């Protein structure tokens, strides 16, 4: 399937139309951004790694019964996906405290969260993606009642599947962000699951293997993404 026109350019991916109006191409770029785009760098190979990583993870989820947008890997940096009508909220599950929950609630980084927490954020760069609750989603009509429930159920189902997948590969799934949309009226997992949008720590040493290496200037960002991929058995070029 050929890329046609650019539909949308995000911070790390560009979305293209195809000859099929129900399909899009996601092009993963090397751009890496943090703090609402304040810090941006090009990290060689990152687009390729994230494209292959995302395809691997989404395929595992699909096999486990989670409806995802992913259709096919087209090239090192491009994937064919279903065109979703996106719901403008982000779903975050946390198994271990890190990042914004530590700042907001004064929780020490590394604290085990039992049961895991669930948070909704509004997808809105200008407002810096504020945290919202179900009442806001209902009142402002960002998602239908049944879709709110399904997003929560599916986000926790993803946690069960991915915690085990990463644990078997010697890693802790600290937290992650998911975005959903509708395809033929059915809730479907969209966007991406890559080390840009989740936190992964080595199980023994708790070494950070995700975008926090970039956010915190720890260095060896791409090397960490490659290590995570290798541990999962993902073939990179």
What does the binding site for ligand C5P look like in residue numbers (CB under 6 A)? 90, 92, 99-100, 129, 175-177, 197-199, 211
Neighbour count for residue 72 (Cβ, 10 Å): 12
For the CB of residue 83, give the shortest distance to ligand C5P in the complex, in Å: 21
Q: What element of type H or E holds 176?
A: strand 171-183
Residue 123 and residue 135: Cα distance in Å, rounded? 16
For the CB of residue 104, give the shortest distance to ligand C5P in the complex, in Å: 8
Phi/psi at 158 (5° precision): -60, -40
Which of 47/197 has CB closer to ligand C5P? 197
For the CB of residue 218, give the shortest distance to ligand C5P in the complex, in Å: 14
Phi/psi at 142 (5° precision): -75, -25
For the CB of residue 90, give the shortest distance to ligand C5P in the complex, in Å: 6
Which of 52/199 has CB closer to ligand C5P? 199
Q: 14 near 27, Cβ under 8 Å?
A: yes
For the CB of residue 19, give the shortest distance to ligand C5P in the complex, in Å: 31
Range list of H helices, the chain: 46-63, 100-105, 134-139, 145-168, 212-215, 221-232
Q: How far is CA 16 from the centre of its chain?
A: 19
Residue 179 and residue 192: Cα distance in Å, rounded? 8
Which of 52/213 has CB closer to ligand C5P? 213
Which of 83/177 has CB closer to ligand C5P? 177
Which of 18/190 has CB closer to ligand C5P? 190
For the CB of residue 13, give the shortest distance to ligand C5P in the complex, in Å: 12
Which of 74/143 has CB closer to ligand C5P? 143
For the CB of residue 198, give the shortest distance to ligand C5P in the complex, in Å: 5
Residue 119 and residue 21: Cα distance in Å, rounded? 33
Q: 82 near 25, Cβ under 8 Å?
A: no
Q: 28 near 13, Cβ under 8 Å?
A: yes
Which of 27/94 has CB closer to ligand C5P? 94
């Amino acid at each position: 399937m050929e890329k046609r026109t650019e539909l949308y350019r995000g911070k790390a991916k560009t979305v293209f139309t195809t000859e099929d109006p129900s399909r899009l191409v996601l092009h993963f770029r090397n751009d890496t951004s943090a703090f609402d785009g304040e810090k941006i760098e090009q990290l060689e190979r990152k687009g390729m790694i994230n494209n292959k990583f995302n395809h691997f993870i989404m395929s595992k989820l699909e096999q486990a019964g989670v409806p995802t947008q992913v259709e096919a890997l087209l090239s090192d940096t491009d994937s064919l996906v279903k065109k979703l009508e996106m719901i403008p909220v982000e779903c975050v599950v946390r198994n271990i405290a890190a990042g914004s929950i530590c700042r907001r609630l004064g929780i020490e980084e590394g604290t085990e969260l039992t049961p895991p927490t669930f948070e909704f954020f509004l997808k809105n760069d200008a407002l810096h993606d504020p945290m919202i609750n179900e009442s806001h989603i209902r009142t402002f009509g960002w998602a239908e009642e049944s879709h709110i429930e399904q997003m929560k159920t599916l986000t926790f189902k993803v946690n069960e599947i991915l915690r085990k997948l990463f644990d078997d590969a010697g890693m802790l799934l600290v937290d992650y962000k998911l975005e959903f949309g509708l395809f033929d009226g059915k809730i479907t997992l969209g966007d991406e699951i890559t080390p840009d949008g989740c936190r992964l720590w080595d199980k023994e040493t708790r070494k950070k293997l995700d975008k926090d290496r970039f956010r915190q200037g720890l260095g060896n960002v791409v090397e960490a993404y490659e290590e995570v991929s290798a541990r999962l058995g993902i073939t990179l070029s």
